Chains A and B, each alone.
Chain A
């Protein structure tokens, strides 16, 4: 360990770390462009200048290692001057057209000018023109060479993280240009990250470009539901603006740092997988296919469901639970269907739905909570839906409660038709439209993951929280709430008003979740206690 002082603050830090790491640990602000903790040190932007006592000149914090007794200043005149003049150089040839730049509002040139710049600009000459303005470099990203400050974060991301070697810096001096290698396109499974790490408006995300000014965005921490990795994300949604035509509320997803799960990154599949939150949503409660007139209320729908469930013969219902549901929701599935109604035919795993997997982030299981479903439901045979679906097809079930699964997608339209024909009552609970929802007798529109609180358990048993970013769309309600009410109607002894209460009970009843609560799970998650 080394004892150092930064801005008068005495710190004990690990030997051999860089000054900027020490500064970040102490949460002292310092500007940086090329430095990124997930990439190698480039030291080219030169803005992270600090003054170190006994050194003649200011040094860059990203490539200077701490030493015992080092006294570092980030805010002395000397340090501030160094930071300021470097910023002036970076802005010399940078277009000053922030009002038409999509990065405005989250641009580090803007931010640092306000925080560390505020100089009187002296540049009075013609700026260097570069060829590629708003040019597509691949399916997801646009490049604007004039806005690039050549920090090479994207170059290093391609070289070091994805190893796809997409970008390079071409030419020399102030004619240096960032570009994709000739004949290549940026088309890898993690391409969106380059827009995140680009500190300026040089690489922007086609999906988000000019969709919304960032200052209209709210942000909520959550977890990506795209696969069993459970990358930590932020949901960026539109803050309520009554005068704005609302077609979409969730505008984009951004990765959130979690060293144990996804570092700083996320895949494109997850990043652009947010569309179902605002598209093809189930908007109406339905009790029976023959119902005419006004829409039924939640009370009517749940009472109807409770009635048929209460009247069911023992063993005559099947439940297709979902690994898209939260731990809380699955816990209520277990309490209601297994414990209370004694239904044996409970499954959750849809076979044949595996997707792409690599040795980085992507997992082939495209459900966020398969581990939680297996642990909580404890169903034999891996929880495969097929035996239940086969029983339904064979006319052995009078009722089927389906959570989110689309039988047409998993087994084909014929199976759905056969099930529909053989089963008297089909209850469908889910957020999005699909043929199975269409075919159901009772339709319970549920909220998307962005509209509720809860937890997912990822592939390695890490319990992580999702949080409500936007309100449930239309009449939809979170699954845990639907189940809590249904349970109450069926006589369950509970009165849950928050997902957290369900979780607390889960923690009491399931050893894997022992001693967990929302506060303890926090923003980075907790691993199951293994027996």
Chain B
């Protein structure tokens, strides 16, 4: 890939300001589409472009839009999931912070396609600077008449509200997000009914990820076929990959769907830090099953990674070198899930806490080999028995770390942790700056490094 698409403005100074953004073509596509096309043209283009939800689930976006009831008796809401909280993931933050007008343009197009007059952006509470810039971009768009009544001089209207989350990971789950947005506790909802039928305030609602919507202007500008051609079969477009951990150049990389993971690490991210040996890679945020060094010759798209027994998820690639202690890595993952379980369903509420207690004992050198099997049993028993997939996400690290690094876990238990490093050495990556980012990808690094 030669030309950056989603990240084309990331290094343009002040691209988050309307004047700069418009100079670089912002809102041109939306203006044209609203003036000349029909809503279903947008949906059809998105369908043909093979655009899939880039928040993690990978569900075909156009298909989701088509689930809306056709009778149109109730208002339709568009909700943008900007609650980017998956550990190892920081891609949406770049769009929100560096090119918010791109997302707003995507929102205008999507709202046009689904017939929504009111959109909400639910933004992660910790994203303070992204929030400020997004809000300022929204204000500018209102001032320009791109939002509000009569957008671009048409008869269409669209209100856009930016709502900040309060810090719960689970509020990134779309129905917990809806509850939170309504002012309730961030508990995922029972499905069915699905949000497209009964969503925000009981009305049909489409929930899309930031990056997904940022793709829409490009699809409408350059055509569905062009977009589909950028990716691999059934996975259109490019994707922003958050690469963190033990690589020379961590950061956000825009690469075509289906880029080989090996190339991603060794070509784009400058290889493992200090030329050390690779131990493991988490390909799609903390919830994704881990891959060993021997398993990284895999295409990074939804279908290929599913076939490899893991998932693309949020495309948060976390790289671990040979200094990584897998027990410690699992400790932090288990702690995260125990801390973030909403507590609604009993298997998850009790299972995540229980698993964390066992991993803690292992880490302290107070466990037996049988505890490993208890952990695997807990993971298996949590899986698929809850309202949302959080429990599954909590189960997968347990299952994959222990299964793939069983010998290390057993050795750790036998030696009560002695002789094996606890935690990870403090190594600062050398070499050049990250390809795209000059911002700290601190959230992700902190998790892998441990404390």
Contact = CB atoms under 8 A, between A and B. Distances in A.
Nearest to A40: B190
A41 B358 CA distance: 33
Interface stretch (B34-42, B225-233, B380-388): B380-388
A43 B388 CA distance: 11
Contacts, number: 91
B346 A57 contact: no
Contacts of B352: 173-174
Contacts of B358: 125
Contacts of A49: 385
Contacts of A122: 374, 377
Contacts of B371: 124
Given A88-B381, A125-B361, A174 B350 contact: yes
Given A173-B338, A173-B341, A173-B352, A125 B357 contact: yes
B387 A43 contact: yes
B171 to A, nearest CB: 11
A171 interface: yes
Contacts of A85: 347, 381, 385
B190 A169 contact: no
A63 B191 CA distance: 8
Contacts of A126: 357
B343 A175 contact: yes
Nearest to A175: B343
Nearest to A152: B344
B168 A172 contact: yes
B284 interface: no
Interface residues of B, number: 31
A331 to B, nearest CB: 53
B413 to A, nearest CB: 14
* Among B352, B377, B382, B385, residue most surrounded by chain A Cβ atoms (within 10 Å): B385
Contacts of A42: 190
Give the interface size class of chain A.
20 to 34
A190 B168 CA distance: 35
B340 interface: yes
A181 interface: no
Interface string A15-53: 000000000000000000000000001111111010000
B354 interface: yes
A388 B339 CA distance: 74
Contacts of A96: none
A517 interface: no
Given A122-B377, A126-B357, A174-B352, A150 B342 contact: no
B446 interface: no
Contact of B345 (A46, A57, A93, A172): A46
Interface in A447-474: none
Given A122-B374, A173-B341, A46 B347 contact: yes
Contacts of B342: 172-173
Contact of A44 (B345, B374, B377): B345
A89 interface: yes
Interface string B344-368: 1111011111100110010000000
A123 interface: yes
A1 interface: no
B421 interface: no
A126 B377 CA distance: 19
Contacts of B385: 46, 49, 57-58, 82, 85-86
A117 to B, nearest CB: 13
B346 A173 contact: no
A51 B171 CA distance: 30
A172 B353 CA distance: 11
Contacts of B377: 122
Contacts of B349: 89, 150, 173-174, 176
15 contacts: A44-B345, A57-B384, A89-B381, A90-B350, A92-B350, A122-B377, A125-B358, A150-B343, A172-B168, A172-B339, A173-B338, A173-B341, A174-B338, A174-B343, A174-B353
Given A44-B344, A173-B340, 15 more contacts: A41-B190, A43-B387, A89-B346, A89-B347, A89-B354, A89-B381, A90-B346, A149-B346, A150-B343, A150-B344, A169-B343, A172-B342, A173-B341, A173-B353, A174-B353
Interface of A: 41-47, 49, 57-58, 63, 82, 85-86, 88-90, 92-93, 122-126, 128, 149-150, 169, 171-176
Interface of B: 168, 185, 190, 338-347, 349-354, 357-358, 361, 371, 374, 377, 381-382, 384-387
